[in-house]
Amino acid sequence: MNTGTKLMLGLGAIGIVVGILVMVLGAGSIGDADNWRPTDDVYLENSQGETVGFIHIEKGNGTAVAVFVTSDVRCDEFTLEIQRVGPLGDDAYWKADACVDLDGRSLPSGYVDDPEGWLHLGDIVNLEDGVEYTITTSHDVVLVGWEDIEGVIGDFLGGLAAICGGPTFLCCGLLFLIIGGVMAVTSSGTKTQTQIEITPSVEVDSENNELEDGYEKDEKKWYDEDSS
């Protein structure tokens, strides 16, 4: 097996292994994103009808936080109020998603993308770092920083890209294996033939030649004497 054949087979094996590994890692990332729940990255929690104060920390959260409730809460019945407690400045505000009716249920318009058992009803936006705020909600809520949510979305998209890219590595690996296999069969079926030509050599026995010459001379002498 020559070097080119070994190279093709090696690249094919590597391509297949990488393709399988990428697909497995991609599936794992998508699985982690699907299993994510708001309680995994809690920024703030508040109970029904209560008012809670907090100082916003922008690092790791961004300037907005997402508001989640359990899936049994009706979108059209939820209310949230936020007030700035610190020095004067731009006020943060509650940006609610539009509500839609589905089989007698009131759901936020983006409910299809929400984690199982939870509804994303909207966001508190325009929060400033280090400023104190108070919120009052009509139901129990869990607030999650938007940077955490973007991280989850990034994991999902990265896993999806890996799953889509994995088959490409597999196909390339199989192609290299096929080419390498063909090269291996071809190289093993073609053998160099070496032809050796042997020229026979004839050895002349000098002693026999001398005897033959002597015999011919004696025979000629006898013939001459007999003729006389």
Decide if pLDDT at 134 tops 80: yes
Give the separation between CA 209 and CA 40, rounded to whole angstroms. Answer: 113
pLDDT tens profile 67-95: 999 999 999 999 999 999 867 777 899 99
Asked, for residue 163, whether it belongs to a domain, the answer is yes
- State whether 80 and 131 are in the same domain: yes
Q: What is the mean pLDDT of residues 158-170?
A: 71
Number of domains forming the structure of the chain? 2
- State whether 42 and 75 are in the same domain: yes
- State whether 57 and 90 are in the same domain: yes
Phi, psi (deg, nearest 5) at residue 43: -90, -45
- State whether 99 and 50 are in the same domain: yes
What mean pLDDT is reported for the chain? 77
Asked, for residue 221, whether it belongs to a domain, the answer is no
Asked if 114 contacts 108 with a C-beta cutoff of 8 angstroms, the reply is yes
Q: What is the DSSP letter of 122?
A: E
Contacts of 45 (CB under 8 A, 6+ apart): 140, 141, 142, 143
- State whether 110 and 176 are in the same domain: no
Asked, for residue 103, whether it belongs to a domain, the answer is yes
45 sits in which H/E element: strand 44-46
- State whether 82 and 173 are in the same domain: no
Read off the pTM.
0.58
Instruction: Produce one character per residue of 60-82: b if its CB has 16 or more CB atoms within 10 Å, e if not.
Output: ebbbbbbbbbeeebebeebebeb
pLDDT tens profile 169-224: 678 877 877 877 777 777 765 555 555 666 655 554 555 555 555 555 555 554 55
- State whether 90 and 47 are in the same domain: yes
Strand ranges in 109-149 using DSSP code E only, listed in sequence order: 118-125, 132-137, 141-145
Amino acid at 46: N
Intra-chain end-to-end CA distance of the chain, in Å: 86
Domain boundary among 148, 177, 201: 148
Asked, for residue 129, whether it belongs to a domain, the answer is yes
- State whether 42 and 114 are in the same domain: yes
**Residue 138 binned pLDDT confidence (cut-offs 50, 70, 90):** very high
Asked, for residue 199, whether it belongs to a domain, the answer is no
- State whether 74 and 9 are in the same domain: no
Domain boundary among 148, 177, 195: 148
Contacts of 119 (CB under 8 A, 6+ apart): 68, 69, 70, 71, 73, 75, 107, 108, 111
**The pLDDT of residue 173:** 74
- State whether 15 and 52 are in the same domain: no
Asked, for residue 215, whether it belongs to a domain, the answer is no
State which residues form the domain around 62. 38-148
- State whether 140 and 164 are in the same domain: no
**Residue 165 binned pLDDT confidence (cut-offs 50, 70, 90):** confident
Asked, for residue 201, whether it belongs to a domain, the answer is no
Q: What is the DSSP string of 143-168?
A: EEEHHHHHHHHHHHHHHHHHHHHHHH
pLDDT tens profile 168-179: 767 887 787 787
Asked, for residue 100, whether it belongs to a domain, the answer is yes
- State whether 104 and 164 are in the same domain: no
